[in-house]
Amino acid sequence: MARHSRDSGPLRGEESAWWVSVVGRPLVLVLWCFFGWGTLMLVALLHSALDVGLAETLARLRPDQEHGIAGLVNLLCAAVAAGIWLLIAWNLWLRRHPASDPPRDP
């Protein structure tokens, strides 16, 4: 099979594989980093809520002159991580208890 140069026409498979490796993999790495950071923030927020109370924890997240919007970004990362963890738990639950199982007779 003859190989085409880039000038004669795109090679869909090779170019898409190149874009996936250049754009896709770093994007997935960034998303995993946000998920990891969000998980750490979720654990820290839960610990803080148990330690000082929910109202004080939420008050600490309000943006101010010193920290800017970092608290809200952390809260957003924690909320997204909580949602992903809930999706993982739901998926595991559905795998253990599929809806297509017939009822068992005693």
Q: What is the pLDDT of residues 30-86, one digit of tens each?
A: 989 999 999 999 999 899 999 999 999 888 877 777 777 887 888 888 899 999 999
| Residue 53 within any structural domain of the chain | yes
- Going by pLDDT thresholds of 50, 70 and 90, the confidence category of residue 101 is low
| Residue 36 within any structural domain of the chain | yes
Range of the domain at 43: 21-96
Q: What is the pLDDT of residue 91?
A: 93
Domain count, the chain: 1
Indicate if the pLDDT at residue 9 is higher than 70: no
| Residue 10 within any structural domain of the chain | no
| Residue 50 within any structural domain of the chain | yes
Nearest-angstrom CA–CA distance, 24 and 101: 38
pTM of the predicted model, to two decimals? 0.65
SS3 64: strand
Asked if residues 38 and 78 have their Cβ atoms less than 8 Å apart, the reply is yes
| Residue 90 within any structural domain of the chain | yes
